[in-house]
Structure 1
Amino acid sequence: MNPDLDLTLHRVLRAPRAAVWTAWTDPARFARWWIPAPATCRVDRLDVRPGGGLVTLMSDDGVAFVPHVDATFLVVDDRTRLVFTNAVDSTWRPASPAPVAMTAEITLADHPDGTDYRVLVRHGDPAARAHHEKLGFLDGWGTVTAQLEEVAR
């Protein structure tokens, strides 16, 4: 972890690791937590394998959807780790995503109370990291993590 380039979030989720993994890998469950409520998510692609795509859209009214994430999975270690980036889109083309390019690493481990859940989001330079933090990284990722916990219970 490089504090000049990276943002982190760590929580103990009161849900079994297998259920947290399923919430990350099942499109219907993923759509229930990936975007902070009351906005809604539509999953167009969730191909959880190295080189697979992650494409989501979001809506404030449940009718009109706009692009949210178009990313590629880089690493998938069953029930322990997911790594994806939006710097390469789901068709493997270089991307310049708004609001910030990032690579996210999600790690899961057993914990006596459920799942040790860690997020490490890497950025290309200090300005991108600062911008992501200013946009509300902790609030946004914190909110969806709480939603993930509810779905996984």
Structure 2
Amino acid sequence: MNPDLDLSLERIIRAPRATVWSAWADPSRLEKWWLPAPMRCRVDQLELRPGGAFVTRMSDDDTEFVPHLDACFLAVDELQRIVFTNAVDSTWRPANPAPVTMTATITLHEHPDGTDYRMLVRHGDPESRARHDKLGFADGWGTVAGQLAALAESMAPR
């Protein structure tokens, strides 16, 4: 991690890695946690494989959904790692997304209490990192990690 270019968060999720993974891999589950509540998410494309599309829309009134993310998966190692970028869109065209271009790496590690869930978001320059941080990276990404944890923990076998 480069502290001048990257932002990161970590969370222990009290559920098995397979359960956390399924919350990423199933569009109907991803829609439940991907955006901070009360925003609503709709998944248009979720091809969890290298080169696959990752397209979501968002709504604050649950009726009109507007574009949120048009990205491409770069690497997918089942139960271990997901890497996606919005620098390339879902059709593999170069993109210049607002408000910031980023590449995110999500890693899942075994932990005695469940899953060690880590998010590393890389930026191309210090200004982009600072902009993302100022826009509320920790609150936004932290909130969705919390929502993912709540969903995965509710799905976990007791």
Q: TM-score, normalised by structure 1?
A: 0.99
Matches within 5 A, 1:124-139: 124-139=124-139
Partner of residue 11, structure 1: 11
Equivalenced residues, count: 153
Partner of residue 48, structure 2: 48
Structure 1 runs of 4+ off > 3 angstroms? Answer: none
Residue type matched to 1:81 in 2?
Answer: R
Gapped regions of structure 1 (runs ≥ 5): none
Partner of residue 77, structure 2: 77
Residue type matched to 2:87 in 1?
Answer: A
Gapped regions of structure 2 (runs ≥ 5): 154-158
Partner of residue 121, structure 2: 121
Q: Deviations over 1:91-124 (max 9, x none)?
A: 0000000110000000001101110010000000
Identity over aligned residues, as a percent?
69
Q: Deviations over 1:14-67 (max 9, x none)?
A: 111101000011000000000000110000000000000000000000000110
Residue type matched to 1:7 in 2?
Answer: L
Partner of residue 21, structure 1: 21
Q: Secondary structure at the match of 1:24?
A: helix
